[in-house]
């Protein structure tokens, strides 16, 4: 009987049971979509990554990502977790792995330091919508549970993406952020209206000098009521901040630290780097730690 090697990895942390848990199936060759969906449902993380071997010299492997209810094109924390698990399983040295995803072939850097690893994920192409209509914004504010006075009006409500889109919603207060109780049913309804499943609420209200933003991310339409620490929200946030001139940039890149998961006791953080080209956001990378929570077999 075939055995699948399965890791559960907590991404964006070095402390077990913090950060964002991701399932990782190291040897997924031969699995079909139904089997992958059943495994993702059983592990019940916000995402599970499935690693397939490559039959093409242009990339080193294939990754597919499933929530408990559906396949998604890309996932930040599950990529960090997958590359960390692969590095542990194969005892890799520092290297760059080119992995095929639904948003293209992306380079993921494995950095070995003292028998542990940091992972740098290059994300997909950045895109940013126009500001959403006043009517839609008001509906989002109501569903999230904030008033116009509580919103950060320097931050337009827009959909940003590096492969898996999120609505960017800036608010003034970290206390308000931590006490949000969104209407998940209404957010799901709005998702079909705006064609975006994720809502990333963030604030600059930080009492830690090296942390620029705190955030929370809700995606009930795809079975994720709240995601603890979201690479595919904080990465696009970097592009959004640069594109809108909300942060001051100079040189050929802008970097910051983001923190998430405080409310649900799964605190984690990541470094976001936005490469600039003629002053515009170009290549976006996120860097994070990880730790293996457990390893098992199916």
User: How big is the chain, counted in residues?
Assistant: 298
Tell me, letter by letter, the H, E, C secondary structure of the chain: CCCCEEEEEEECCCCCCCCEEEEEECCCCCCCHHHHHHHHHHHCCCCEEEEEECCCCCCCEEEEEECCCCEECCCHHHHHHHHHHHHHHHCCCCEEEEEEECCEEEEEEEEEECCEEEEEEECCCCEECCCCCHHHHHHHHHHHCCCHHHECCCCCCEEEECCCCEEEEEECCHHHHHCCCCCHHHHHHHHHHHCCCEEEEEECCCCCCCCCEEEEEEEHHHCEEEECCCHHHHHHHHHHHHHCCCCCCCCCEEEEEEEECCCCCCCEEEEEEEEEECCEEEEEEEEECEEEEEEEEC
| Dihedral in degrees, nearest 10, Cα atoms 183, 187, 188, 194 | 170
Kindly name the residue from 47, 113, 186, 271 that is annotated as catalytic: 47
CA dist., res. 186 & res. 233, Å (int): 20
pTM comes to: 0.96
- Strands 71-72 and 48-53, by their bridges, are unpaired
Q: Give yes or no: 186 in active site.
A: no
> Tokens 């003629």 identify what position?
278
What's the rounded Cα separation, in Å, for the pair 71 and 155?
30
Q: What's residue 1's pLDDT?
A: 83
Which two three-digit tokens encode residue 260? 């998430």
Residue found by looking up tokens 């590359």 in the block:
83
Task: List, for residues 195-254, the tens digit of each pLDDT value.
Answer: 999 999 999 999 999 999 999 999 999 999 999 999 999 999 999 999 999 999 999 999
Q: Which residues pair with 286 in a beta bridge?
A: 121, 272
Residues of the chain predicted below pLDDT 70: none
The pLDDT of residue 176 is: 98
CA 225 to chain centre: 14
- Listed residue (262, 162, 168, 170) closest to 208, CA to CA: 262
């Amino acid at each position: 009987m075939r055995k699948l090697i399965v890791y559960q990895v907590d991404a964006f942390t070095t402390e077990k049971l913090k950060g964002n848990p991701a399932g990782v199936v190291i040897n997924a060759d031969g699995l079909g979509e139904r089997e992958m969906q059943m495994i993702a449902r059983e592990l019940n993380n916000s995402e599970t990554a499935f690693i397939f071997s490559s039959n093409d010299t242009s990339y080193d492997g294939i990754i597919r990502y499933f929530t408990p209810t559906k396949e998604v094109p890309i996932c930040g924390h599950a990529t960090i977790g997958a590359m960390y698990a692969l590095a542990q399983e194969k005892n890799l040295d520092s290297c760059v792995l080119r992995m095929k995803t639904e948003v293209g072939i992306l380079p993921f850097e494995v950095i070995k330091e003292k028998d542990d690893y940091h992972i740098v994920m290059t994300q997909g192409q950045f895109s940013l919508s126009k500001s959403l209509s006043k009517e839609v914004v008001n509906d989002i504010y109501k569903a999230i549970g904030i008033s116009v006075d509580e919103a950060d009006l320097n931050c337009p409500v827009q959909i940003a993406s590096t492969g898996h889109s999120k609505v960017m919603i800036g608010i003034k207060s970290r206390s308000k952020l931590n006490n949000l109780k969104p209407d998940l049913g209404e957010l799901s309804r709005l998702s079909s209206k705006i064609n975006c499943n994720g809502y990333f609420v963030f604030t600059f209200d930080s009492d830690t000098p090296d942390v620029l933003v705190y955030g929370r991310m809700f995606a009930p339409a795809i079975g994720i009521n709240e995601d603890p620490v979201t690479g595919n929200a904080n990465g696009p946030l970097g592009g959004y901040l640069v594109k809108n001139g909300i942060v001051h940039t100079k040189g050929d890149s802008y970097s910051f630290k983001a923190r998430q998961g405080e409310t649900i006791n799964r605190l984690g953080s990541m470094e976001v780097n936005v490469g600039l080209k003629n002053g515009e956001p170009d290549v976006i990378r996120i860097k994070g730690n990880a730790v293996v929570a457990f390893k098992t077999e199916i």
